[in-house]
Chains A and B, each alone.
Chain A
Amino acid sequence: AQSVAQPEDQVNVAEGNPLTVKCTYSVSGNPYLFWYVQYPNRGLQFLLKYITGDNLVKGSYGFEAEFNKSQTSFHLKKPSALVSDSALYFCAVRSSGNTPLVFGKGTRLSVIA
């Protein structure tokens, strides 16, 4: 079975500081990993994905994520946080094929000016 863990319900960071939102996964076979963001009263928006290749993946709005196979992690990062980055962030995984994504519970990011 596939699963995703986001160990932090809430992350607070000052504007301009680097941010990290953590994600670990469990899957049999090769993982396909995704990050989504949800702004208030909106649907989930795709940020980035890891399929294969370079372990550092760059996505929308200056976000990037690092795939670490030995630690089964896929942490989301941004060098300099903006207040507008405040939102709910979801990590998701699938192992193969056309199966639905399995989502973590989400981490609420709050960037303080």
Chain B
Amino acid sequence: DAGVIQSPRHEVTEMGQEVTLRCKPISGHDYLFWYRQTMMRGLELLIYFNNNVPIDDSGMPEDRFSAKMPNASFSTLKIQPSEPRDSAVYFCASSPLGAGALSEQFFGPGTRLTVL
């Protein structure tokens, strides 16, 4: 398996523009997580899905952020409009259902977002 796939790996945009980050989880994994990593705040959970359904989005910072999972193999995180303070590395992770609490989360390589 190729692991969790994220695209793009790097994104540079200007303030006010829409940004869409993409994630393909590992096949067969039922859980998908979006995290944001910054120097100041460390690794923050933004939202997670179970079987394509959002379970907890309390970590989404503002209404400018939205996430979807239209099917088991694809998820997007959208920021509209983007602001410089959104600059961070965004990680997607997935994990299988069966192992429950025993299972580790598998992380993608991340998308480094820079908003000018």
Contact = CB atoms under 8 A, between A and B. Distances in A.
Interface of A: 32, 34, 36, 41-46, 49, 51, 90, 94-106
Interface string B60-102: 0000000000000000000000000000000101010100111
B2 to A, nearest CB: 13
B99 to A, nearest CB: 9
A93 B95 CA distance: 15
A56 B38 CA distance: 32
B66 to A, nearest CB: 19
Interface residues of B, number: 24
Contacts of B48: 100
Interface of B: 4, 31, 33, 42-43, 45, 48, 50, 56, 91, 93, 95, 97, 100-102, 104-110, 112
Given A103-B42, A104-B42, A94 B101 contact: yes
